[in-house]
Structure 1
Amino acid sequence: MTEGLTHSTTLSDALVILGAAGIVIPVFHRFRITPVIGFILIGILVGPFGLGRLVPQAPWLYHVTITEPEALVPFAEFGIILLLFTIGLELSFNRLWTMRKLVFGLGALELLIIGALLAGVFTVSGQGTTAALALGFALALSSTAIVLPISGTSSPVGRAALSMLLFEDIAIVPMIFVLGALAPYAQADGWEGLVDTLWQGLVVVIALLVIGRLALPRLFAQAARTKSPELFLAASLLVVIGASLATAAVGLSPIVGALIAGLLIAETEYHGEVEGIIEPFKGMALGIFLITVGMSIDVMKVWDDIGAIAVAVVGVLVLKALVTSILLRLMGARRSTAAETGLLMASPSETTLIVLSAATAALLIDRETAQFWQIVTAIGLTVTPLLARLGRAVARRVEPAPEVSERQGGESPAIIVGAGRVGRLVADMLLVHGKPYVAIDTDADMVERARRKGYNATFGDAARSKALDRLGIETAPAVILTMDEPVLAQRLTAKLRKAHPQLPIIARARDLNHATVLYRMGASHAVPETLESSLQLSEAVLVDLGVAMGPVIASIHEKRDEFREQIRREANLGHTPKLRTGSAETG
């Protein structure tokens, strides 16, 4: 009987979580607001301090509330592990080297100054030194999950925010390492056995780095050759869980292992595909973590302490905004950029909640203090979109936008889908004319061969939006589809045209009928292989018969344009093309 009741409770809670995700994600996406805020609000609503309070008076509320919050803890911890894993994926050494001056200059100053100032405030208010440092640096962090979708990474504000967020992501590694090392010995004097944990942890970390550098490229190359998303996902989870268990075995936090796993995979060419496959699982697991955070917030306690909470929220936001803005101005940023970035980066982060949890586990701060600052963090996360709007308004007021926006980072590369024979030929012609490109392919061996020959090729599935976003689809001058997969070409053309109405899409077509379909799907140009082979054959015949090269090339171009126009016309009419070259029907 008890077992059946437990199963019923678990299923009821699972239904509430899935229902919350089904409501939160699409609704908040519709208004372009991060689901992070929605999950926290749902946790407050369905938790024991929200509607759960009313279950004795209204038993039917049992079915729309979380009745066993502690049962969600393992899933919440898994969400934290996946979040730290994806942070590691973003920290490739190449990316850091490219932005080293901003990351280790602006980013380091921003975190260290804000963390030190906040720690000073906490010390004056009566906290111990270690507790003050933990709280100060936890609240100094800003939200990658909320800030970057708002700012992007191409604008001056986006680049400034990215540099600071990248350094914060790096700083999480030593923060979590130290707190994870302290936690097992917190019940004693806080230091007994710490040295053993640190040296054993260091050995495990070095072992993971060495083994990972040698084994991960081979592991993911084998998974990629199967072209099975399930196997790729299994390999990714194997690496994350294995690294987490290895660090947990020596007394460190499992999220240290997750971070290292992300860092190692970030150095392989498969990191984009791993990130895309893990994303849905990370989002759902992180959502559960944020729901548990919301459930820990007692609305009545918030109301009772509303004055102190309001002062804390405003104090943190104002301090962080001022310091960030001043630093940006000292480093030469425009007034508008400094003001907007300062307000955008003012809120704490979802990783603040993780650091607070780790500090609580290490007994550096008590649970009541941790809950107070969790509430402050949750409110800060919730108002971040409002701060972004305020920042844009302040930026326009303090300094009008320049009439001509300067282009940063040079010309964006064209995206070639397919790194085979045709894709490489297109890349060669682009290079001849000084045009940058990047090729993407799902065939790991094809990518490896292309890279050995000097081509800029990367592994990834272009059918996944994240893969093309990573390559800069928003600013790409064109996408060239070169793969010999007619159905995939049609689907990808339709998907790209819907998402990017102005994007030039040039597609390889198997024959004239296929070209017609591609035009209907939205291709800017569809090039049938049968037509091109016929034209090349005609060119060779005419030249061998003594016709001058100039008139031959002109007539070939004229015939090609004539065929393209006819294919487009037939596609618009919805007909199957009946095109002829001389007396023979082509297709």
Structure 2
Amino acid sequence: RKQLATRHGREAFAVLLFQDVSVIPLLALLPLLSDSGTHAAGGWMAAVKGLAVIAVVIISSRIVVRPVLKAVASYGGREVFTAAALLLVVGAALIMEKIGLSASLGAFLAGVLLADSEFRHELEADIEPFKGLLLGLFFIAVGMSANLGLVWERPLAVLGLVLGLMLAKFALMYAIARIGGAPNDTAQRLAVSVSQGGEFAFILFVAAGSLGIFDAGTAQLLVVVVTVSMLLAPLAFEAHERALARWTERHATPEFDAITGPGNPVIIAGYGRVGQIISRVLRMCGVPFTALEASYQQVDFVRRFGSKVYYGDASRLELLEAAKTGEAKLFVLSIDDVEASVKTAAVVRKHFPQVPILARARNRVHLFRLRDLGVKLIWRETFPTSLDIARHALLSLGFGIAASERAVSLFRQHDEQRLEAQYAVQHDEAQLIQTSREAAAQLQELFEADGLQPLPGFPQPAAAAAPKE
């Protein structure tokens, strides 16, 4: 559903990751629960031994494993490096099994250690082709181990345990999220997202069954409960989204604000990150303005700090007329959403063509679309910041102030020229690619002709095709 970047998506990922990591101490502590307490000393010794082994593995990974992996990465090929990582996983599993702990614990612990190393991205890329296959094998094994016949044999027990598990996790996570300051809808989405049992529960149940903590029938029942909860989780999330949408529709946000009184010389459409900074500078200089924002949550938030912002959609003609846009000297377009920005620009250009528009563009495509509407004064939001960072990078590498400023200035001029050339051929992909390649070569020639050379010890740069933003 592409919601990982949202607040509830990030927090759900963190919760699921914590669940997985918590398996390590839980597996180590299982011996304490075995034998119904008849061999308490043995259980304590097994638990202490397990925790000690885990500590030794973690410490040794930083002292031994990381240097070994660095050496393999430096002197061996990609295949050798991947083989070394797999050897570490298999070795950890065998060691854990040898001392009487779960081999799954060893493999999982090795995976956690590899994920904590500087080679995690390289390993992730190496195993990417096999990830789907391995996940498929894991869940095939889970499915084969689950006795789904229990659903028909003991439907009330399975249903009761599944509902109890999911409702308990939902209530707990919702309460924690609300205590942590999450909004109601975010807390609900987070709680629903993690209401199912985790896949590592299967490993815990197998290990607990092998230690005699509970009988085989109970283990099978618990496996079925977790399996059914995992099957129901997507359905529960979809049902919750629909119910939340209906509730939101019934309890819709208030109507747009009515704008009254005389107009101001500046209209700011979009009161997000960019719009707020612009408004603060104008306020500091005593310039009155009218700010419009289509997100009620954003309006409600900034009003707490005393900001005067109108809740409304800046692309609606009646709202722009109420704001006296026709009498304004400037229209600042700082809306985050590209489609809403383009729509607003089209309305302003059509009905108030005499009002200059100062627009913020998120990327080149956004800029081109605004240019097509006749907007002339456009700023790419990341371009000035990127150039400023590049200038400081050159200074940090030993380039002089004048050379750094000159390099950035040349690049800015060249990039603006390249932007014009790309705008002329924006609908011809072949021409666009050719223009980018030619521009990269011309930029290198321009730097050489201007006398800008790399410092001693830095390789001569090679011309390459400039990527699109």
TM-score by length of 2: 0.54
| Bigger radius of gyration among the two | 2
Between the aligned partners of 2:48 and 2:438, the Cα distance in structure 1 is: 62
Give unpaired runs (5+ residues) of structure 2: 254-293, 299-335, 337-383, 399-417, 419-428, 453-464
Call closer, same or farther: CA 1:298–1:159 in 2, change over 3 Å.
Answer: closer
Q: Does 1:173 align with 2:24?
A: yes
Equivalent residue number for residue 327 of structure 1: 176
Between the aligned partners of 1:394 and 1:228, the Cα distance in structure 2 is: 53
Return the offset for 1:524: 8.6
Asked whether the 8 Å contact 1:337–1:395 carries over to 2, the reply is no
Between the aligned partners of 2:390 and 2:103, the Cα distance in structure 1 is: 45
Q: Deviations over 1:412-434 (max 9, x none)?
A: xxxxxxxxxxxxxxxxx976514
Moved more, 267-276 or 371-380: 267-276
RMSD: 4.4
Return the offset for 1:367: 1.1
Which structure is higher in RCO with an 8 Å CA cutoff and minimum separation 6?
1
Q: Deviations over 1:124-171 (max 9, x none)?
A: xxxxxxxxxxxxxxxxxxxxxxxxxx5643212112212322332332
Give unpaired runs (5+ residues) of structure 1: 1-149, 412-428, 439-451, 455-505, 507-517, 542-563, 569-587
Between the aligned partners of 2:2 and 2:173, the Cα distance in structure 1 is: 15
Equivalent residue number for residue 353 of structure 1: 202
Return the offset for 1:226: 5.2
Q: Does 1:363 align with 2:212?
A: yes
Return the offset for 1:398: 4.2
Secondary structure of residue in 1 paired with 2:214: coil
Which of these residues, 149, 152, 158, is aligned with residue 9 of structure 2?
A: 158
Between the aligned partners of 1:434 and 1:258, the Cα distance in structure 2 is: 42
Return the offset for 1:322: 2.5
Return the offset for 1:213: 0.5
Q: Does 1:315 align with 2:270?
A: no
Between the aligned partners of 1:170 and 1:324, the Cα distance in structure 2 is: 18
Call closer, same or farther: CA 1:221–1:297 in 2, change over 3 Å.
Answer: closer
TM-score by length of 1: 0.44
Q: Does 1:262 align with 2:111?
A: yes
Asked whether the 8 Å contact 2:36–2:213 carries over to 1, the reply is no
Call closer, same or farther: CA 1:317–1:436 in 2, change over 3 Å.
Answer: farther
Which of these residues, 361, 372, 376, is aligned with residue 225 of structure 2?
A: 376
Asked whether the 8 Å contact 1:339–1:394 carries over to 2, the reply is no
Call closer, same or farther: CA 1:372–1:198 in 2, change over 3 Å.
Answer: closer
Q: Deviations over 1:3-39 (max 9, x none)?
A: xxxxxxxxxxxxxxxxxxxxxxxxxxxxxxxxxxxxx
Between the aligned partners of 1:362 and 1:436, the Cα distance in structure 2 is: 63
Which of these residues, 423, 433, 457, is aligned with residue 388 of structure 2?
A: 433
Between the aligned partners of 1:437 and 1:156, the Cα distance in structure 2 is: 33
Call closer, same or farther: CA 1:307–1:436 in 2, change over 3 Å.
Answer: farther
Q: Deviations over 1:513-541 (max 9, x none)?
A: xxxxx967969933666533433454459
Equivalent residue number for residue 466 of structure 1: none
Between the aligned partners of 1:437 and 1:359, the Cα distance in structure 2 is: 58
Kindly report which structure 2 residues correspond to 1:17-32, keeping only aligned pairs within 5 A, or say none: none
Secondary structure of residue in 2 paired with 1:251: coil
Equivalent residue number for residue 445 of structure 2: 534
Asked whether the 8 Å contact 2:32–2:44 carries over to 1, the reply is no
Asked whether the 8 Å contact 1:335–1:399 carries over to 2, the reply is no
Percent of aligned pairs sharing the same letter = 26
Equivalent residue number for residue 272 of structure 1: 121
Asked whether the 8 Å contact 1:336–1:394 carries over to 2, the reply is no
Q: Deviations over 1:172-200 (max 9, x none)?
A: 12111112x459x7599454633443444
Call closer, same or farther: CA 1:279–1:196 in 2, change over 3 Å.
Answer: farther
Return the offset for 1:316: 2.1
Equivalent residue number for residue 351 of structure 2: none
Q: Which amino acid aligns with 1:433?
A: D
Equivalent residue number for residue 471 of structure 1: none
Between the aligned partners of 2:18 and 2:391, the Cα distance in structure 1 is: 29
Asked whether the 8 Å contact 1:197–1:250 carries over to 2, the reply is no
